[in-house]
Structure formats: C-alpha cells, structure tokens
Amino acid sequence: MEDSVESKWTLKSDAKSEPFLYCCSACDCSEEPFRGKVFRNRTKARSMSMPSAPSSAKFRRTQSLHGPSPVTTFGPKACMLKNPKAVMHIQDPASQRLTWNKPPKSVLIIKKIRDTSLLQPFKELCIFLTQIRTTWHALAQEFKIKCVKLICNLLTCFIDYDDISNCVDFIICLGGDGTLLYASSLFQESVPPVMAFHLGSLGFLTPFNFDTFQSQVTQVIEGNAAIILRSRLEVKVVKEYRENGSVEEMSLVTNGNKTMQYQVLNEVVVDRGPSSYLSNVDLFLDGHLITTVQGDGVIVSTPTGSTAYAVAAGATMIHPNVPAIMITPICPHSLSFRPIVVPAGVELKIMLSRDARNTAWVSLDGRKRQEIAYGDSITITTSCFPVPSICFRDPVNDWFESLAQCLHWNVRKKQSHLSSEEEEF
C-alpha cells in the first residue's frame, strides 16, 4: 500500500492562464485540491466510444463564469477587477481527461449492500484485478463476504475505523446511484476518481455496464477515459448548546456550539418532519435575508442533485458541469415561489424563523437526518472537493443518455405523417 500513497493528482489545464477547476475564495490556488489530472486537447487519449472534440487555434471555449470569453476587458477602458481568489474558473467539458502521474496500484471496491446477486460480479472483478497486477491491492468494503478469502492480495478495510483517504488511487462502485453517494461520503476532502457500474435499480450516475468490465477497467488504468467533475456542497450544521443536552452532545461542543461539517453530492433537504404544521425557515444569501420558506420544506441541490429530489419537486435539470446551486421549495404556500438557480460559491444559510410553530429537520443526501431548533443554523456553499466521475463516452453524451434511458426525457408518441392529399387540402 505504500506505493499507492505516493500517487498524487492535480486538476489543471494546459492553457497559458492555467485556471483551476472549481477554485473559489475558500481555497488556495497554490495547492493541489484534487486527485485527478485533466489536460486540454489531449490527442492520444480518447474516450470510451467517442472521439475527442476538435480543438480551435483561434478561440477556446469559456473558462470563466463572468462571460462567454476569457477576455476580461470590455471596450477601450473597462476591465474586470483582478481578484483570482474571488473568481471561479471552469473548463471546457470536452477537455476533461483522466491521466496518471504514476500507475495506480490501489482500488477501493464498493458494492451495493444486502444484494446477493452482486456477489458473483464482485468476485469476478476482484479476481481480474489481482490477475492483471501482481502488486495490485484491492480494498473490499464488504469485508464480510466469504469470496474475499478466495482471492489473494485482497485487503479488507473497516470504513468506520480505517483511514483510507490517502490509500486509494481510484474507486469502483457496483450498484446504483446510492452506492456512488456512499462512496462520496467516505471522502470529506479530495476524492479519487470513481468508476460506477450499473448494477442497481436506476443507475442515472452509473454509466458503465458490467458485461465488458475487463476492457473498460483496463482503459481506465491506462489513463484513457473522459471525466466529469460533480460539484459537492460543503454543509455546516451548527447547533446551540442546551442544558438538557446529552453527554455525547456536550463532548462535541466548541465555544458553546456544536458544529458538524459534511460533503454533500446531491442535496440538502430541510423539511417539517413529523409535524403537521408548515415548515417556516429563513433563507439567507451571503448574509442577506432573501426569503422565508413556508411549506413542506426546501431543497438546496447541486447540478448532479437537480435530477434527483429537486426535479420531482418541479425544478429544472442542470448539467453537472454548470457551476451553480439550485434552491427548490417543496409544496410552497405561495404559487409565485418558483425554483431558482444561484451562482456556485455563494453562501446560503438556513435558520428556523421566529414565527415557526415547530422545529425543522435536515437530511444530507438522504442520510444524517437531524432536528433543527431555534438558534441552530445550516450553512451551505460550494465545496472545493468535487467527485471526479469517470465517463463512458464524455460528460455531455453520458448525461443525455441518462436522461433518455433512466428518466425517459421527452418520450412521447409521434404524430402520424400527413398524406399527400391532406397536404394539398
């Protein structure tokens, strides 16, 4: 495992300006925030099924949130104030390619829990990995599986006790979208690239089929794959210390408050919980009160989460490469309260309103559900540590393929063709 720890990753562009992807005022651009390396116009590396987009010598697509051009001058005299730490840069999705500084030697395999049908695929994958590399290490999250004992060079890890943040070169998920969400939750900072196989129920975030896993895994190991960076939300739940708090709560109190921090891939949901009263919470943006949410609750989601709970509540669907945060009310008590999209990097804060009749409840990617009382707060902003998800083709084609296959987007019965007589009439 010592060799795998030496593998370091960066996410940079070969453009002269060298913009970092998803760098904002919360991170230092001099550091290496991610574990994957992305190059622009890489000619040798190709996606799984589609050729890379042609390059343009005269114009590169947008790299900045502030306009459709990298140029920061406007007219003969106007220009944009130079403040690199306050500007978030994004890359052309077609340029996002995976490469390795050193050959990967450690992989974390995570399978869907309580699904016996995945035992055989899990075993086949482990055997394949140990055969192609004699020094390959596989970390099996399902340490109770009997087939693990049949495979050499396979290490088991206890997620709740072992620190795997610097021991994993990339991750392979066997299951559905929930398996990928679980893999994201294991890494609170830099996340290794994730290769997700569709062996679950929906599979919107899992583009690979297991039938040809040998060739697909080999291509990823060789650094021949496209990658999509799924932004996450950095969430801080601050709870005021109360005298009737338990011993466990008291041990976590710092300066009178208990603060818990999470990395969320899909969404933060604040709802009314078991109460029959409307949820009543105040929503702040960069310290300013923008509205009070009255209804069943509110969803704060990433572009990846826009196709999950948010779209069921009436929100639009946003491509994961769009740097944004979506705010969607759940059954609002006002017909004019529609979902809105705000720029990534802003700080949202949710607190219980003074007029609230009951407490609220918050859940993070469907987990860590907890009660929010008066004086507590939930702070949400864009995380500096996205999830690099390996693509089957490329970021754009994979997303539209998922819309068509999983959500049946714009599927309808076609109109019959008009006959020549009807056209003349």
Task: Give the residues across from 226 on adjacent strands.
Answer: 97
Can you tell me the distance from the alpha carbon of 42 to that of 26, in angstroms, rounded to the nearest whole number? 30
Please give the span between the terminal C-alpha atoms of the chain, in angstroms, as a whole number. Answer: 77
Q: Helix (H, G, I), strand (E, B), or coil: what is residue 371?
A: strand
The answer to whether the beta carbons of residues 307 and 230 sit under 8 Å apart is no
Strand pairing of 387-390 and 225-230? antiparallel
Contact between 24 and 347 under an 8 Å Cβ cutoff? The reply is no
Q: Say which DSSP state 361 is in.
A: E
Return the DSSP state at 338.
-
Helix (H) or strand (E) holding 126: helix 119-132
Element (H, E) at 3: helix 2-5
Residue whose C-alpha is closest to residue 289's, from 238, 224, 354, 338: 354
Residue partners of 244: CB distance under 8 A and separation at least 6: none
Strands 279-285 and 194-198: unpaired
Three-state DSSP state, 147: helix
Closest CA to 359 of 294, 277, 289: 277
CA distance 208 to 125: 14
Any idea which residue has 């398996």 for tokens?
179
C-alpha 407/C-alpha 415 separation (Å) is 22
Q: Which residues are catalytic?
A: 177
**Strand 324-332 to strand 340-343: parallel, antiparallel, or no bridges (unpaired)?**
antiparallel
d(Cα 275, Cα 134) in Å, to the nearest integer?
A: 57
